[in-house]
Amino acid sequence: MIVHVVGNRPQFIKLAPLYHELKKRNYEQCIIHSGQHYDTNMSEVFFRELNIPQPDLNLKAGSGSHAEITSNVMLGLEKELDKLRPGLVIIYGDTDTTLAGALTASKLNIPMAHVEGGVRTYHKENPEECNRIVADHLSDILFCSDKVSMEDAGKEGMKDKAFLTGDIMYDTFMSMNTENKKVSEEIILMTWHRQENTESRARMLSIIEFIKKLDGKIVCPMHPRTQKCLKSFGLWDELKSIGNLQIIEPVGYMEMISLMNSARLIVTDSGGVSKESSFAGAKCIFMIDLDIWDDLVKDNWILKLNPEDSKSVEAALTFAKEAVRVDECKRPKFYGDGHAARKIADLLEEHRFI
Ligand code: UD1
Ligand code: UDP
């Protein structure tokens, strides 16, 4: 049996193509949901839209500090994995659910595969970086989205277990973007949720000041964490008063595709959305000073913004003014061909993990 451990919005999106590919090959699978994300629009909607069966188990770990989430997931997962004793555990991305999955499966000596392995920003203060380091080193096989992740895995002595498959989010994007849906007008799409951008009032204020300087309609499907932090810092009304900004609830993946396809620019701190910007043809301002998706940064597709630095803000505003939608044939292609799931399943068979 293969157990998928997931629990966050981006993990449901990464799970879908691999689940369907393994199902096609008749493998017995079990989905364990950690419960880290639990709102309908952060969890259930993705299972429905991406046609993934309801999780076999939900550990209901819920929210809390990093230690609380990680340990709650571990406690629930240990019991279940010990009962199931699967032949393989698959973990995804870089969240606390990924970390808990890695530690638990590893202590139970269950073989483990990491989808989206090898990603590094070389900033240990970034919570996701710690999770990736542990997940990669404990996993038996890594599936890398791009050449940069492969090289970075190699630098840490993991060359022999790392394989370039292309990005599994590209599979999901390609399979769901069949009708090339758009909303009726061109927009700037914004998402905002990372710890670096929500824990300090000054940082949140600097982002609000940046948004105020952007021209054109901005649509922001807001992560619950961001809304909560804005309210607790007394900044909610200030943000709401920006005339050209429309704040909406988090959207399902279909609506997200429409928004991305309608954007001439994406402003985000999301690892996933910043990469998807290149799939959808909208250049991206990435609001954390972290080295992600090196190739897209070098290609001038992603511009990194430090909203607290006036020079960086100036450069981002020029970038924003000049950004126009980019035709399919001119979009950078660093993340494979949309068949990562097939390659992952082939590799798992070839290396006798399944
Ligand atoms: C987590 C991941 C982050 C990833 C993101 C994807 C970690 C350390 N962080 O961040 O890497 O980019 O998921 O979206 O694992 N909340 C709700 N409803 C929900 C989920 C969360 O209200 O369904 C609120 C709670 O107040 C919670 C806060 O959001 O405390 C933060 O949630 P949490 O899961 O800790 O981190 P994310 O910011 O979602
Ligand atoms: N996403 C979505 N609805 C939203 C915001 C994001 O479907 O309202 C999708 C987005 O297209 C991407 C994934 O969720 O596929 C990214 O998740 P998130 O930004 O929460 O996490 P990260 O990638 O930063 O870990």
Residues 6+ apart with CB under 8 A from 151: 118
- pLDDT confidence of residue 131: 98
Q: Using the atom order of ligand 2, give the atom closest to the CA of residue 253.
A: 7
Point out the ligand nearest to the CA of residue 274. Answer: 2
Ligand 2 neighbourhood includes 271 CB (under 6 angstroms): yes
* Residue ranges matching CATH 3.40.50.2000 in the chain: 2-167+336-350, 179-330
The whole-angstrom separation of Cα 287 and Cα 258 is 22
Active site residue 193: yes
If we measure between CA atoms, which residue out of 182, 32, 19, 174 comes closest to residue 97? 32
Q: Using the atom order of ligand 1, give the atom closest to the CA of residue 98.
A: 15
Angle at Cα 288 formed by Cα 321 and Cα 276, nearest 5°? 70
Ligand 2 neighbourhood includes 221 CB (under 6 angstroms): yes
- Residue of 256, 278, 302 to mutate, ligand 2, most atoms within 8 A of C-beta: 256
pLDDT in tens, the chain (354 residues): 999 999 999 999 999 999 999 999 999 999 999 999 999 999 999 999 999 999 999 999 999 999 999 999 999 999 999 999 999 999 999 999 999 999 999 999 999 999 999 999 999 999 999 999 999 999 999 999 999 999 999 999 999 999 999 999 999 999 999 877 787 789 999 999 999 999 999 999 999 999 999 999 999 999 999 999 999 999 999 999 999 999 999 999 999 999 999 999 999 999 999 999 999 999 999 999 898 899 999 999 999 999 999 999 999 999 999 999 999 999 999 999 999 999 999 999 999 999
Q: What's the full length of the chain, in residues?
A: 354
Helix (H, G, I), strand (E, B) or coil at 173: helix
Q: Are 348 and 88 in contact (CB under 8 A)?
A: yes
Ligand 2 neighbourhood includes 270 CB (under 6 angstroms): yes
Q: DSSP string spanning 268-316?
A: E--HHHHHHHHHHT-EEEE-S----SHHHHHTTSEEE--TT-HHHHHHH
Q: Using the atom order of ligand 2, give the atom closest to the CA of residue 223.
A: 8
Eight-class DSSP state of 192: -
CATH class of 179-330: alpha beta
Q: Is the pTM of this model over 0.95?
A: yes
- pLDDT confidence of residue 10: 98
Point out which residues pair with 163 in neighbouring strands.
143
Ligand 2 neighbourhood includes 7 CB (under 6 angstroms): no
The whole-angstrom separation of Cα 58 and Cα 353 is 25
The whole-angstrom separation of Cα 307 and Cα 190 is 14
Across 77-87, b (16+ Cβ under 10 Å) vs e yields bbebbeebebe
Ligand 2 neighbourhood includes 143 CB (under 6 angstroms): no
Point out the ligand nearest to the CA of residue 194. Answer: 1
Give nearest CA residue, ligand 1 atom 26: 225
- pLDDT confidence of residue 182: 81
The whole-angstrom separation of Cα 300 and Cα 198 is 26
Q: Using the atom order of ligand 1, give the atom closest to the CA of residue 38.
A: 23
Which residue matches tokens 């949309």? 338
The whole-angstrom separation of Cα 331 and Cα 283 is 10
CATH class of 2-167+336-350: alpha beta
List the beta strands (DSSP E) in 192-269: 218-221, 245-248, 263-268
Point out the ligand nearest to the CA of residue 263. Answer: 2
- Residue of 191, 254, 269 to mutate, ligand 2, most atoms within 8 A of C-beta: 191
Kindly name the residue from 193, 223, 339, 351 that is annotated as catalytic.
Answer: 193
Ligand 2 neighbourhood includes 10 CB (under 6 angstroms): yes
- pLDDT confidence of residue 285: 98
If we measure between CA atoms, which residue out of 252, 179, 176 comes closest to residue 221? 252
Q: Are 149 and 97 in contact (CB under 8 A)?
A: no
Residues 6+ apart with CB under 8 A from 332: 278, 295, 296, 299, 301
